[in-house]
């Protein structure tokens, strides 16, 4: 008989596939390698009325041997600008993935909780302090940045075309900075070109 964590993964995989949310293609789960069920690929769609709307977010899911008594390890592969998710590593700060995990939870509940996190950020419990500061201090700029990231990395539909943003990134590109680094530096410094340049060259 297969060990408990594998049995669970198989069952939960079926649960996600047949779930109502998956039918509406809100969440998705895929097996990367049939012989290794401890590595999974999850997908959540950015919920409506958020800067992430329409974006497709890929998640890296690792199942520990002690699953389901310990939580799965989940992180974002797709880059995202969100107070509870690291803009650099994709690490997620979510209680149920840490001490609030309960063995009765499933991959479906995990994916739905992550989607809920995209809908309602918790800036008081931040993973990425820079984003959280911006979220609280300048919500408009946060939305703009998050949307820009969603359009760039998560394939969210381009509803606005921000020429100013592109121009600033282009300026940095000409200085020999990679696009990812340029975007990170500009986002971190509230799209202030001078501050971004300073941070990159000191």
Partner 1 sequence: MAFDSQESQTSSVGDYYESEEEEEDDYKYFEEEDLMEDSETFSKENSDPEWYEHSCMPSQEVWSIIKKEVCQLSQDLQVTDPIARLLLYSTKWDKSLAVSKFNGDKNQFFIDAHIHPSKPKRQPLEPCTECPICFSSDDANYQLYCGHSFCCDCWISYIISKLERGVSLGIECMDCDVLMGFEVIDTLLVKRSSVIRRYYQLALSQIVESHPLLRWCPGRDCDMVFAVKEPLPKRIQCTHCNLATCFQCGEEYHSPTDCESFKNWLLKCRDDSETAHYITSNTKDCPKCSSAIEKNGGCNHIRCTKCSFDFCWMCLSAWAKHNNEYYACSRYQADPDVMKAKVTKAREALKKYIFYFERWDNHHKSLLLEEETRFKIQTRIKEQVSNGEGTWIDWQYLLDAADLLRKCRYTLKYTYPRAYWMIGDKKHLFEYQQAQLELEIENLSWKVERATITDRADLERQMAVTEIRRVTLLRDFKHY
Please choose, from the candidates 50, 40, 105, 47, the residue with its C-alpha nearest in 3D space to the C-alpha of residue 77: 40
Q: Of 36, 69, 98, 167, which one interacts with partner 1 (CB under 8 A)?
A: 69
Residues whose CB falls within 8 Å of the CB of residue 140, separated by 6 or more in sequence, listed in order: none
Residue 51 touching partner 1 (CB under 8 A):
no
Sort 26 into a burial class: Cβ within 10 Å, 0-12 / 13-18 / 19+. Answer: middle
Instruction: Kindly state the number of chain residues that form the binding site for partner 1, as judged by CB under 8 A.
Output: 11
Closest CB to partner 1 among residues 116, 167 = 116
Closest CB to partner 1 among residues 73, 133 = 73
Q: Of 66, 160, 166, 180, which one interacts with partner 1 (CB under 8 A)?
A: 66
CB of 165 to partner 1, least distance (A): 42
Helices (H) and strands (E) in the chain, counts: 8, 4
Q: Of 18, 25, 70, 180, which one interacts with partner 1 (CB under 8 A)?
A: 70
Span near partner 1 by CB under 8 A; candidates 27-35, 67-75, 76-84, 117-125? 67-75
Closest CB to partner 1 among residues 18, 70 = 70
Q: Which of 85, 93, 97, 150 is catalytic?
A: 93
Residue 198 touching partner 1 (CB under 8 A):
no
Residue 116 touching partner 1 (CB under 8 A):
no
Give CA–CA dist 169/177, Å, rounded.
9
Tokens, residue 87: 């803009």
Residue 14 touching partner 1 (CB under 8 A):
no
The label of the residue with tokens 């079926």 reads 14
Closest CB to partner 1 among residues 1, 163 = 1
Tokens, residue 193: 């070109």
Within a 10 A sphere around the Cβ of 145, how many other Cβ atoms? 24
Q: What does the CA dihedral 33, 34, 39, 42 come to, rounded to 10 degrees?
A: 90
Q: Is 183 considered catalytic here?
A: no
Residue 4 touching partner 1 (CB under 8 A):
yes
End-to-end CA distance of the chain: 58
Residues forming the active site: 93
Kindly list the residues in this chain that would bind partner 1 in the complex (CB under 8 A): 4, 7-8, 11, 66, 68-70, 102-104
């Amino acid at each position: 008989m297969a060990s408990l964590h594998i049995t669970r993964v198989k069952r939960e995989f079926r649960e996600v596939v047949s779930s109502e949310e998956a039918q509406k293609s809100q969440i998705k789960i895929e097996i990367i390698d049939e012989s290794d069920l401890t590595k999974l690929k999850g997908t959540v769609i950015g919920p409506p009325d958020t800067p992430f709307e329409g974006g497709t977010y890929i998640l890296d899911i690792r199942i520990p041997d002690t699953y389901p008594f310990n939580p799965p390890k989940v992180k974002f592969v797709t880059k995202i600008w969100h107070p509870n998710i690291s803009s650099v590593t994709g690490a997620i700060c979510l209680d149920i993935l840490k001490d609030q995990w309960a063995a009765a939870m499933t991959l479906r509940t995990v994916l739905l909780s992550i989607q809920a996190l995209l809908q309602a950020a918790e800036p008081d419990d931040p993973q990425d302090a820079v984003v959280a500061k911006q979220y609280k201090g300048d919500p408009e700029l946060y939305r703009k940045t998050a949307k820009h990231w969603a359009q760039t990395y998560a394939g969210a539909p381009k509803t606005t075309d921000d020429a100013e943003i592109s121009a600033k990134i282009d300026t940095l590109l000409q200085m020999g900075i990679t696009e990812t680094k340029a975007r990170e530096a500009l986002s971190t410094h509230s799209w202030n070109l001078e501050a971004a340049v300073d941070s990159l060259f000191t």
